Amino acid sequence: MNVTISAIKFKADQKLETFISDKLEKLSKLHDGIIGSEVTLKLDNTDKPENKVVDIRVKIKGNDAIASKAAKTFEEATDLTIEALKKQLVKSKEKERSK
């Protein structure tokens, strides 16, 4: 799967990028129509500790699955976003089967 990771106003370290890529690779087991994904990492300008935001768009034939979550760390935000995407991918696959 082709994964594009962009960090806004900072440089993401290799360890974080590898973590995100590994998590996204596991999504391809849920849905075989995944073409690729785009990940955007950003820091929210808030006083809250949950200011690490991860936006992920998974490109699928037909419709894209999109999710965004904020947490204290990028790893935690990635896990939350992946969970939301899993639900979307399962629904998408069920819709395909019912056609």
Report the CATH number that the domain containing residue 26 is assigned in CATH: 3.30.160.100
> Domains in the chain: how many in total?
1
Block residue for tokens 């790893």: 75
- Can you tell me the mean pLDDT for 59-79? 93
Tell if the pTM clears 0.85, that is, is over it. Answer: yes
- What's the pLDDT score for residue 47? 82
Confidence of residue 76 (pLDDT cuts 50, 70, 90): very high
DSSP labels, the chain: -EEEEEESSS---HHHHHHHHHHHHHHTTT-TTEEEEEEEEEE--SSSS--EEEEEEEEESSS-EEEEEEESSHHHHHHHHHHHHHHHHHHHHHHHHH-
- Can you tell me the mean pLDDT for 49-68? 92
3-state secondary structure of 58: strand
Confidence of residue 20 (pLDDT cuts 50, 70, 90): very high
Domain membership of residue 19 as a residue range: 2-98
> pLDDT > 90: what percent of the chain?
67
